[in-house]
Amino acid sequence: MRTLCRRTLLHLTAGAAALPALPRLARAQKTQKNYPTRSVLVLVGYAAGGPTDICARLIAQSLSQRLNAQFVVENRSGAGSNIATEAAVRADPDGYTLLLVTQSNAINATLYSHLNFDFMRDIAPIAGIMQAPSLLEVTPSLPVKSVAEFIAYAKANPGKVDLGTAGNGSPPHMFAELFMAMTGVKLTVVGYRGGGPALVDLLSGQIQVMFEGITSSISYVRAGKLRPLAVTSAQRSSALPDLPAIAEFVPGYDATGWFGLGAPNGTPAPIIDRLSSEVAAALADPGMKARFADLGAEPMPMGPAEFGKFVADDTEKWAKVIHTANIKMD
């Protein structure tokens, strides 16, 4: 028998060693191709009823219909959405645990100095979903009807106007901090475990003011149960065209909320791409567009790369605000 050369022997040995892995690779590729084969968990960092929860449930319902599998929303509120984010980071990167990504994730990267994760490193971007301004809104019993009147009233009553937020460090809190820094007013910040519970107290008059997402507030505004003073975006909203922007009274003010979808880093690219394309298709659906418009929001179609850059840019923006205002969270 001819003696095998060393190179040939090494090639044969490597090929034999790879054989057991081939069935596993084939199974993995088949699983990714057939994804999803069971229910998918969508983690939300805030309580039910707020804009984050509303966005999650809209996209989960659409994905459930499009992919013929249940996308189940689970609210894990607390720590400015960090509890839900860490749960997503620690989950298996198999496509069956997703995170409703929000502005909180961009804010928290600077706000918290002792996080057990690095958001930009540990969460893979999938797609943008929607963007919407918040409303500077007050309980009807507060004797103000414009931003100028509110600023004058708050300055005449420093620390006596209670501001409800979706939690310390949440976007509504940061929108308020930006407003206070730019106007010199002093509000008493009252943190809740989500926008929904805070909104209940605003409606009852337990607190006087909120910077709350238009998606969760617009029905109460239309019913006359809350008094909107302005939108937080740089321009007026088409949903409430007669309502001014804060920037018309406070030049340079701009704070627009956004929402997207992410997954644990390491989630297979075919699954990321499948989810991204399905989200894009959902956002292009006339029914979804109409639902967003009814909520005062707009679709924000972005693929993984574009959404990742968007989050990075917003992280940098809010880092400057946090450093300027010297805001810190443990």
Q: Look at the block and give the residue holding tokens 């088409």.
A: 238
- Does the pLDDT value for residue 1 go beyond 50? no
- Using a pLDDT cut of 70, give the percent of the chain over it: 90
pLDDT at 49: 84
- Does the pLDDT value for residue 12 go beyond 60? no
If pLDDT is split at 50, 70 and 90, which confidence band does 17 have?
A: low
**What's the first-to-final CA gap in the chain, in angstroms?**
73
Q: Supply 68's token pair.
A: 């013929």
- Backbone angles phi and psi of 205, in degrees to 5: 85, 10
- Using CB atoms within 10 Å of the CB of residue 23, give its burial: 0 to 12 exposed, 13 to 18 middle, 19+ buried: exposed
For residue 72, CA distances in Å to 37, 69, 298 come to 14, 9, 23
Greater confidence (168 vs 145) lies with 145
Beta-bridge partner residues of 131: 258, 298
Q: Are 99 and 261 in contact (CB under 8 A)?
A: yes
Q: Work out the average pLDDT over 48-61.
A: 92
Residues in the chain: 330
Q: Supply 157's token pair.
A: 């009553």
Residue 247 is classified by DSSP as G
Give the C-alpha separation, 98 to 217, whole Å: 26
- Does the pLDDT value for residue 21 go beyond 90? no
Give the C-alpha separation, 238 to 222, whole Å: 14
Contacts of 69 (CB under 8 A, 6+ apart): 36, 37, 38, 39, 40
Q: Are 53 and 46 in contact (CB under 8 A)?
A: yes
Please say whether the dihedral angle defined by the alpha carbons of residues 212, 218, 220 and 226, taken in this order, is positive or negative: positive
Residue 239 is classified by DSSP as T
pTM to 2 decimals? Answer: 0.81
Least confident of 80-94, 185-199, 201-215, 295-309: 185-199
Give the C-alpha separation, 44 to 85, whole Å: 8
pLDDT at 8: 58
- Does the pLDDT value for residue 26 go beyond 50? no
Question: What domains are defined for the chain?
Answer: 38-132+256-325 (3.40.190.150), 134-248 (3.40.190.10)
Residue whose C-alpha is closest to residue 229's, from 139, 157, 167, 292: 139
| pLDDT (tens digit per residue) in 104-128 | 999 999 999 899 999 999 999 999 9
